[in-house]
Structure 1
Amino acid sequence: MDKFFTRAQLALRNGQDRDEIWVAYKGIIYDVTASRLWRNGKHYEHWAGQDLTDELADAPHTEGVFERFKPVGKLAP
């Protein structure tokens, strides 16, 4: 997985501007488009197109949830 995306490119995959719904966690970008929990780019109080690394502590699940989704690239430094 050598494809890098900027934060601006990630922000466009918010479920509103484009059909893709992506989120980042620990530098990896995941495609969550197929998840019914991310419809319209929103999951509870979290928005797609963002790095959710710092927000996971508030979630009722662990980082293992990302194993369900395909990584599409890395977040550019």
Structure 2
Amino acid sequence: MTKTFTKEELQQFNGQNGQPAYVAINNTVYDVTHIPAWQDGTHHGNKAGLDLTDILFKFSPHKDRVLAKLPVVGKLAE
């Protein structure tokens, strides 16, 4: 069964204090914990625990090409 995260629940997974680092993109929640660029829950000023859909598609040079490599841990509640 797929876990559904509220925005409040997702914020707990910010990569800080031993927490895993999760990000939401297009309502899918991905685990970026073991991605070196996301060490300590931040990547180029972006923080884990948030919906980064707009950031990814507006500002990221790699767009969604990196998502296929990431483990999916759930969905973001609409």
- TM-score of the superposition, structure 1-length normalised? 0.92
Coordinate RMSD, CA, aligned: 1.2
State the number of aligned residues.
77
Matched with 2:11 is 11
Matched with 2:28 is 28
The superposition leaves residues 12-71 of structure 1 with CA deviations (integer Å, 9 ceiling, x where unpaired) of 000115420000000000000000000001001211100000111101112011111100
Distance 1:3 1:14 in 2: 17
Moved more, 67-76 or 14-23: 14-23
Distance 2:47 2:17 in 1: 13
CA contact (8 A) 1:25 1:52 kept: yes
Q: Which runs of 5+ in 1 are unaligned?
A: none
CA contact (8 A) 1:12 1:18 kept: no
Three-state SS of the structure 1 residue aligned to 2:39 is helix
How far is 1:3 from its partner?
1.8
CA contact (8 A) 2:12 2:19 kept: no
What amino acid is the match of 1:61? H
Matched with 2:64 is 63
Three-state SS of the structure 1 residue aligned to 2:51 is coil
| Runs of 4 or more consecutive aligned structure 1 residues displaced over 4 Å after TM superposition | none
What amino acid is the match of 1:2? T
Q: Which runs of 5+ in 2 are unaligned?
A: none
